[in-house]
């Protein structure tokens, strides 16, 4: 895809909107391509010309001299692409990751009615405006729990029993990385010890702990015990409101591992089916059955876990609306405390990116139908949308939403998505986010991405963490 921007400095906006409509097209800087977009400003006239394969569309309009050129051009490009493709984006020209946070800022600036008017001018559908308002209100209740010295802890376990076809996370199958796990865990314990000493010296207050991945329960019971024990010794857990460990893959969960989590007072786990259709599970590379998911869920319940989340993905390869509906209905009957519904997003490293027709109108419409069903059905069954985020190149430009029963909103998800306070992170691919509560300024410190890099460069990782002191001393 080639985008030519003439006589204006709105290239960032035009690129973001073009990618919404053509998510699998690679951007080129010159020559010719199947998709060519030209946006132009000439005096007070804006124009857009688009050629996509055999289709062509152009529109122009005159704007007032004091108009917001970026906004006007974004809307014009959106209208042109929508007419050409026949698809209306549910979030209009908005391309940000955090629509609820944007709603919060807009409400603070111009009031609730003004915010609704602004979102409508951005071509956002009313049902998505209502969703953003609902999430904003629930997020605000959790955000108020945070203090100036609050922080959360994220622990990265980048290993899985196998790699799902849609996955783009830093995750290695244990078949390919078995020899890395033990040294990784040993060094991660050292990093957690150092991180705990930093938090203690700075007088920070720990609000939530979150083990993500990958699949943390890929580790053995003894490895989990070592990590959880290290956290107990290294951090003051007396202020922790929530302790989550993702037990996402049921084929990694055993009674002994669940016992270990309970022993260390883990209060929330995720058991993630993604789908209750065994054929779809096979097509995405999951080596377990729906029955295994139900069995593990029931086991966790019997053992005393009272806060369980389940994840699902709308738009998975070979999934149908009826199959997706059955998955959501099955989850509601199981009655976990929270259910998260993701919309399929394609990344460059995901196998599904190679499928030619993944983003045709049929797939987008199906994903929309699935997302709408999950919202309507879950809210009718006392699951409230409490956090939300969006990903680039998502199917139908839709959103990922966490739903929870009252009192079971995942605090870490909200703190992280809102960037409420500092997140100290440990492990491969982990990113420390340092938040200044007075200015909202954020700085990031990155760990090495892959386990072998993490192991080979561990001393440098510890050295980078000294930047936490520099941040808090400013």
Q: pLDDT value at position 353?
A: 35
pLDDT band at residue 12 under the 50/70/90 scheme: very high
pLDDT in tens, 135-191: 999 999 999 999 999 999 999 999 987 655 555 555 555 656 789 999 999 999 999
Domain assignment present for residue 126? The answer is yes
Clarify whether residues 242 and 365 are in a common domain.
Answer: yes
pLDDT band at residue 359 under the 50/70/90 scheme: very low
pLDDT in tens, 238-255: 999 999 999 989 999 999
What φ, ψ does residue 391 adopt, rounded to 5°?
-125, 150
E strand or H helix at 403, and its extent? strand 400-404
Domain assignment present for residue 472? The answer is no
Place of tokens 């430009």: 397
Domain assignment present for residue 468? The answer is no
Q: pLDDT value at position 177?
A: 76
Q: Which residue has the higher pLDDT, 363 or 94?
A: 94
- Mean pLDDT for 375-397 is 93
Domain assignment present for residue 268? The answer is yes
Clarify whether residues 112 and 253 are in a common domain.
Answer: no
Owning domain of residue 49 = 2-85
Clarify whether residues 118 and 190 are in a common domain.
Answer: no
Clarify whether residues 358 and 431 are in a common domain.
Answer: yes
Q: pLDDT value at position 176?
A: 63
- 3-class SS letters over 72-141: HHHHHHHHHHHHHHCCCCCCCCCCCCCHHHHHHHHHHHHHHHHHHHHHHHCCCCHHHHHHHHHHHHHHHH
Lowest mean pLDDT among 268-277, 361-370, 379-388: 361-370
Tokens standing for 392? 């680039």
Q: How far is CA 67 from CA 15, 72, 239, 444, in A?
A: 20, 7, 50, 35
Domain assignment present for residue 211? The answer is yes
User: How does the average pLDDT of the chain come out, rounded?
Assistant: 92
Domain assignment present for residue 372? The answer is yes
Q: pLDDT value at position 77?
A: 98
For the chain, the domain total comes to 3
Clarify whether residues 28 and 170 are in a common domain.
Answer: no
Q: pLDDT value at position 75?
A: 98
Cα 383 to Cα 417: distance, rounded to the nearest angstrom? 19
Q: pLDDT value at position 354?
A: 36
Clarify whether residues 294 and 329 are in a common domain.
Answer: yes
Q: pLDDT value at position 459?
A: 97
- Mean pLDDT for 419-440 is 95
Clarify whether residues 151 and 131 are in a common domain.
Answer: no
Clarify whether residues 192 and 104 are in a common domain.
Answer: no
Domain assignment present for residue 473? The answer is no
Please spell the DSSP secondary structure of 287-300, one letter per residue.
Answer: -S-HHHHHHHHHHH
Clarify whether residues 165 and 28 are in a common domain.
Answer: no
pLDDT band at residue 356 under the 50/70/90 scheme: very low
Taking 50 as the threshold, does the pLDDT of residue 355 lie above it?
Answer: no
Q: pLDDT value at position 352?
A: 38
Clarify whether residues 40 and 135 are in a common domain.
Answer: no
Clarify whether residues 149 and 125 are in a common domain.
Answer: no
Cα 214 to Cα 181: distance, rounded to the nearest angstrom? 12
Lowest mean pLDDT among 27-31, 274-278, 443-447: 27-31
Clarify whether residues 401 and 451 are in a common domain.
Answer: yes
The neighbouring-strand residues paired with 308 are 269
Q: How far is CA 250 from CA 301, 310, 446, 469, in A?
A: 14, 11, 30, 40
């Amino acid at each position: 895809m080639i985008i030519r921007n003439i006589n204006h400095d709105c290239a960032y906006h035009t690129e973001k909107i073009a990618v919404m409509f053509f998510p699998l097209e690679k951007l080129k800087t010159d020559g010719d391509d199947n998709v060519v977009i030209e946006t132009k400003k000439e005096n007070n006239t804006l124009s857009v010309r688009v050629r996509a394969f055999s289709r062509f569309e152009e529109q122009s309009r005159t704007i007032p001299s004091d108009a917001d050129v970026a906004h006007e051009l974004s809307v014009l490009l959106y209208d042109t692409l929508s007419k050409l493709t026949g698809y209306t984006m549910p979030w209009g020209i908005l391309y940000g990751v955090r629509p609820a946070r944007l709603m919060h800022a807009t409400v603070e600036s111009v009031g609730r009615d003004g915010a609704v008017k602004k979102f409508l001018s951005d071509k956002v559908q009313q049902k998505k405006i209502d969703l953003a308002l609902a999430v904003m209100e629930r997020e605000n209740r959790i955000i108020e729990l945070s203090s100036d010295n609050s922080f959360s802890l994220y622990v990265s376990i980048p290993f899985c029993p196998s790699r799902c076809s849609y996955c783009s996370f830093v995750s290695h199958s244990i078949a390919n990385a078995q020899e890395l796990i033990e040294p990784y865990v040993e060094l991660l314990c050292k990093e957690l010890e150092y991180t705990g000493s930093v938090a203690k010296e700075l007088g920070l207050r720990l609000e939530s702990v979150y083990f993500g991945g990958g699949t943390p329960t890929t580790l053995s019971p003894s490895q989990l015990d070592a990590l959880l024990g290290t956290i107990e010794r290294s951090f003051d857990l007396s202020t922790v409101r929530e302790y989550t460990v993702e037990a996402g893959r049921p084929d990694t969960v055993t009674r002994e591992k669940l016992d270990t989590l309970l022993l260390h007072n883990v209060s929330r786990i995720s058991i993630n089916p993604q789908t209750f259709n065994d054929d779809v599970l096979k097509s995405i590379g999951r080596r377990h059955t729906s029955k295994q998911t139900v069995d593990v869920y029931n086991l966790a319940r019997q053992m005393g876990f009272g806060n369980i989340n389940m994840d699902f993905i709308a738009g998975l390869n070979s999934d149908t609306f009826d199959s997706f509906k059955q998955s959501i209905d099955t989850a509601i009957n199981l009655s976990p405390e929270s259910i998260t519904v993701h919309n399929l997003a394609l990344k460059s490293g995901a196998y599904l990116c190679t499928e030619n027709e993944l983003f045709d109108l049929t797939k987008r419409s199906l994903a929309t139908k699935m997302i709408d069903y999950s919202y309507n059905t879950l809210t009718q069954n006392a699951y409230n949308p409490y956090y939300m985020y969006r990903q680039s190149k998502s199917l139908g430009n839709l959103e990922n939403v966490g739903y929870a029963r009252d009192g079971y909103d995942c605090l870490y998800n909200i703190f992280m998505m809102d960037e409420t306070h500092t997140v100290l992170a440990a492990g491969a691919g982990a990113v420390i986010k340092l938040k200044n509560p007075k200015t909202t300024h954020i700085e990031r410190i990155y760990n090495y991405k892959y386990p072998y890099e993490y192991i080979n460069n561990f001393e440098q990782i510890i050295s980078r963490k000294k930047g936490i002191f520099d941040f808090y001393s400013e």
